[in-house]
Amino acid sequence: MYFTSIELLGLIAGAITSMGFIPQLVRGYKTKKLEDVSYLMPIILAFGMALWLAYGIYKEALAIICANTFAIICCLILITMKKIYS
């Protein structure tokens, strides 16, 4: 599959911003302590990202689709971890 320079830029940007969830997930998994994480933050983020995902699907924008799918999954994992470890 061939990507244009701008599509590659979008994929890289999406990967970098989506990786911002990884440290919180790893720390939560290791410590099993997520009391300081609110439920509201990942719920609002997931809702916003779901809207971005719908937009990306409509526009057929692979970078938007990939980044927001990954980020929604991370939000759902964070919510699940908070529920399990609280």
Whether the Cβ atoms of residue 49 and residue 72 lie closer than 8 Å to each other: yes
| Each residue's pLDDT tens digit, 8-19 | 999 999 999 988
DSSP calls for 4-38:
-HHHHHHHHHHHHHHGGGHHHHHHHHHH---TTS-
Name all domains of the chain by residue range, CATH numbers in brackets: 21-85 (1.20.1280.290)
Please report the pLDDT score of residue 42 as a whole number: 92
Please report the pLDDT score of residue 1 as a whole number: 64
**Residue 75, pLDDT above cutoff 90:** yes
Please report the pLDDT score of residue 57 as a whole number: 97
| Each residue's pLDDT tens digit, 32-72 | 998 888 999 999 999 999 999 999 999 999 999 999 999 99
